Amino acid sequence: MARLTALFRTYGKYAFLLAIAFGVAGAIALGVTGVMSKLYLSLLGLAVIFLLLWGGWLWQRSPGFFGRRSTQSGANVIASTLAVLVILTLINYIAFRYPVSWDLTENQRFTLAPQSQSLVSALEEPLKVWIFDDAPSDQDRKLLQNYQRFSDQFSFEFVHPDRRPQLVQKFNVQNKGDVFIEYGDKNQLVQNLLSFQQRQALSEIQLTNAIANVQRQETPHIYLVQGHGELSLNNEPGGISEGAAALENLGFVVQPLNLVTDGGIPTDADAVIIAGPTRKFLPPEVETLQQYTDQGGNLLVMMAPDADAGLEDVLEPWGVSFDPRLVIDLSGAGSVFGLDPTVPIFNRYGNHPITEKLQGAIAIFPLVQPVATTEKPQIEATTLVEASDLMYATQLISEDLQPNPETDLLGPFDVAVALTRQGKEADSVNGTETQNESDSSSDNPSEEIIPSPSPAISPTLSPSHSTNQPKITDQEGANPNEGKEESPTDDAAENGNNENDQAKTESKSYTPELPPAKMVVVGTTAFATNAWFNEAVNGDIFLNSVQWLAENVDQPLSLRAKDPTDRRINLGVRRAMVLGWLTWVIVPLIGIGLAVFTWWRQR
């Protein structure tokens, strides 16, 4: 025992070094394995044992060591340091276990768009992203991890093309950098990350659109009416090529349509867009559009305030019309962006799938007119975009921009509306009406049955269906029966004829219930042009409207991902030289001069 005590007194001072060594070894073991293995726990236990031995050695060597003021102060410092280390460890553990981040970029570049979040959250089957790249990007990995946070059904894998030839053959990979998504038994190419030997980042826009496309059962067909001065599909600022390209990226097929030369509206049309006509439609074209909506077709109508396209007969059955007055914004919000009052900024939206997720965002509608609605049977109208109390619509703009309550329309009022016709499905309508007509004909064989509209859509003008027949009179305008004696038999026959005529009139005035259909009406076309499409949420309103019309979408449509804002500055040669002299010469010389002046004064 005395021998052990002597050894302890001699070598006990080295126990502290051993405690540090075992502690460091345990930390390395935990960092390498990532789990609290037996090796880690053993090393940690040895570190604690040697630390206690070192404390006993100090106690034995100096019995009053722990009672000294210096020892107590040192112990307090050590305890405070250990407490801070424990707190920092807990904070890091919580941050690792429950990660939270704040995206401070202007357009939320590192945060998934609401549309991407809702789309991934609604996945019903496993979806996997395959990236065939021999040099994976950390930026692409972080983007895919953001997707993965919203659904367990989402997964991804980076594949080296040379090491997995069976996968290369399965997906028919043509180039390194190809990105595919696999959903059930379908796969689709998203993009290529190598363009002209330059690496590109994985695009959230393209990936989200591909996820939506691969889940779609059928490809929607959208037709843009042309031939009346509508927005063209070219790349000019006044064209609509940006909107058409965005629809194609969503998986839609977009084609121009001339109602006369193309023989009417194709049967595969899921929605028809009338974007800013400046000339009137021909009567056969108007009738074609009427037949299309009567048979369940969906229509998007965008009209500028000074346009007269002659579409009143198409819009009137839906209880919607344009007010040709120009909307003026007195709020001054546009001045922040250098806009005049004829370019209003809107931030009030209706409770509708098109705009429900846009609350709080702004839309810029240049040269917009009000849209008026009236109640119609089976038609449900919902506000999409509403003018504020600081807006009014006028035909004559005064110099002081003050509204005239007697002639101007004061806000709030609608500038975009969505309409839904609540009808029966086509098969149900045809079956019900056929049965009604059969019963009616059996009760009154002499009654004429008015056929339901033909399913064929033709641009030609059909005969009028008016049931108002002109009265037959002679050239003098006299009644040909005047002066004749009326017998009781004639009176009875006349009464019978009157009853039959009344029955016929009631039958002819009966309108069969039309199938369900949808329509969106916007009081401007400029918001969807190439010059304004990517401003604020203009593009989202356009795309959401088309998607709501073409697909059976009941859930809210969200904001889409935006391309990062290009903040590069293009400097000319002169400005570049000035900037170089400022940073490399003038600013350093000012610093040196101030230092020399300070030294000279102190001296």
Summarize pLDDT for 501-529 with one digit per residue, the tens: 444 444 333 345 789 999 999 999 999 99
* Tokens read off for 503: 């029955």
Report yes or no on whether pTM surpasses 0.85. Answer: no
- CA atoms of 189 and 175, how far apart (whole Å): 11
Q: What band does 490 get if pLDDT is binned at 50, 70 and 90?
A: very low
Looking at residue 28, what is its pLDDT? 82
Lowest mean pLDDT among 28-42, 328-342, 538-552: 28-42
Find, among 391, 347, 346, the residue nearest to 365 by Cα: 346
* 192 and 226 within one domain: no
Q: Which amino acid is at 268?
A: D
pLDDT at 557 over 80: no
> By three-state DSSP, how is residue 98 classified?
coil
Q: How many CB atoms lie within 10 A of CB 171?
A: 18
- CA atoms of 271 and 518, how far apart (whole Å): 9
Stretch 330-349: mean pLDDT, rounded?
Answer: 90
Looking at residue 278, what is its pLDDT? 93
pLDDT at 471 over 60: no
Does residue 102 sit within a domain? no
Which ranges in 520-585 belong to alpha helices (H)?
538-550, 573-581
Q: What is the CATH number of the domain that holds 153?
A: 3.40.30.10
Does residue 51 sit within a domain? yes
Pairing of strands 517-522, 299-302: parallel
Residue 343 burial (CB < 10 Å; 0-12/13-18/19+)? buried
- CA atoms of 200 and 177, how far apart (whole Å): 9
* 266 and 172 within one domain: no
pLDDT at 263 over 80: yes
Highest mean pLDDT among 74-78, 368-372, 579-583 belongs to 368-372
* Tokens read off for 348: 């009030």
* 51 and 143 within one domain: no
Q: What band does 428 get if pLDDT is binned at 50, 70 and 90?
A: very low
Looking at residue 225, what is its pLDDT? 96
> By three-state DSSP, how is residue 326 classified?
strand
Q: What is the CATH number of the domain that holds 314?
A: 3.40.50
Place of tokens 């997707």: 147
Looking at residue 54, what is its pLDDT? 77
* Tokens read off for 84: 């801070």
pLDDT at 482 over 60: no
Stretch 60-66: mean pLDDT, rounded?
Answer: 63
Angle of the 114-121 helix axis to the 204-215 helix axis, nearest 10: 40
* Mean pLDDT, rounded, of the chain: 79
Does residue 440 sit within a domain? no
Domain boundary among 215, 250, 268: 215
- CA atoms of 486 and 481, how far apart (whole Å): 10
| Backbone angles phi and psi of 434, in degrees to 5 | -65, -40
Looking at residue 42, what is its pLDDT? 85
- CA atoms of 313 and 270, how far apart (whole Å): 21
> Which residue would you say has higher pLDDT here, 505 or 596?
596
Does residue 48 sit within a domain? yes
| Backbone angles phi and psi of 256, in degrees to 5 | -75, 155
Looking at residue 14, what is its pLDDT? 77
Alpha carbon 224 to its chain's center? 21
Helix and strand element counts for the chain (H, E)? 16, 21
* 404 and 258 within one domain: yes
- CA atoms of 402 and 328, how far apart (whole Å): 9
**Which residues on adjacent β-strands are paired with residue 302?**
275, 522
Pairing of strands 414-421, 379-386: antiparallel
* 154 and 126 within one domain: yes
- CA atoms of 367 and 355, how far apart (whole Å): 21
Looking at residue 290, what is its pLDDT? 95
Stretch 166-190: mean pLDDT, rounded?
Answer: 89
* 193 and 233 within one domain: no
pLDDT at 168 over 80: yes
Looking at residue 430, what is its pLDDT? 40
- CA atoms of 256 and 240, how far apart (whole Å): 11
Looking at residue 474, what is its pLDDT? 37
Looking at residue 463, what is its pLDDT? 34
Lowest mean pLDDT among 447-451, 482-486, 558-562: 447-451
* Tokens read off for 64: 């009053």
Kindly report the length of the chain.
603
Tally the domains of the chain.
4
User: If phi over 0 gives left and psi between -120 and 50 gives alpha, with beta otherwise, what is residue 155?
Assistant: beta
Domain boundary among 34, 69, 97: 97
Q: What band does 22 get if pLDDT is binned at 50, 70 and 90?
A: confident
- CA atoms of 512 and 376, how far apart (whole Å): 15
* 397 and 522 within one domain: yes
Place of tokens 């399965």: 170
Q: What angle do CA 123, 125, 130 make, to 5 degrees?
A: 90
Using only the alpha carbons of the chain, give its radius of gyration: 39
* 270 and 209 within one domain: no
The helix, strand and coil proportions of the chain, stated in percent and rounded to the nearest 5, come to 40, 15, 45
* 151 and 77 within one domain: no
Q: What band does 25 get if pLDDT is binned at 50, 70 and 90?
A: confident
pLDDT at 179 over 90: yes
Q: How many CB atoms lie within 10 A of CB 371?
A: 25
Looking at residue 440, what is its pLDDT? 40
* 152 and 277 within one domain: no
Find, among 528, 427, 527, the residue nearest to 222 by Cα: 528
Domain boundary among 193, 215, 237: 215
pLDDT at 3 over 60: yes
Does residue 346 sit within a domain? yes
Q: 521, 272 in Cβ contact below 8 A?
A: no
Q: What band does 564 get if pLDDT is binned at 50, 70 and 90?
A: low
Highest mean pLDDT among 167-181, 263-277, 479-493 belongs to 263-277
* 343 and 253 within one domain: yes
Looking at residue 77, what is its pLDDT? 84
Q: What band does 185 get if pLDDT is binned at 50, 70 and 90?
A: confident
* 157 and 233 within one domain: no
Buried b (16+ CB within 10 A) or exposed e, 89-101: eeeeeeeeeeeee
Looking at residue 67, what is its pLDDT? 64
Looking at residue 477, what is its pLDDT? 38
- Quick one: what percent of the chain has pLDDT higher than 90? 37
Domain span holding position 173: 114-215
Q: What band does 360 get if pLDDT is binned at 50, 70 and 90?
A: confident
Count of alpha carbons within 13 angstroms of residue 134, beta-carbon side: 8
pLDDT at 452 over 60: no
Q: What band does 578 get if pLDDT is binned at 50, 70 and 90?
A: confident
Does residue 487 sit within a domain? no
Find, among 215, 255, 252, the residue nearest to 121 by Cα: 215
User: If phi over 0 gives left and psi between -120 and 50 gives alpha, with beta otherwise, what is residue 586?
Assistant: alpha
Does residue 104 sit within a domain? no
pLDDT at 13 over 50: yes
> Which residue would you say has higher pLDDT here, 37 or 42?
42
Looking at residue 216, what is its pLDDT? 81
The 10s digit of each residue's pLDDT in 198-229 is 788 888 888 988 888 888 888 899 999 999 99
Angle of the 241-249 helix axis to the 204-215 helix axis, nearest 10: 60
* Tokens read off for 521: 């009406």
Find, among 268, 306, 262, the residue nearest to 284 by Cα: 262
Find, among 412, 328, 430, the residue nearest to 371 by Cα: 412
- CA atoms of 426 and 204, how far apart (whole Å): 39
Does residue 19 sit within a domain? yes
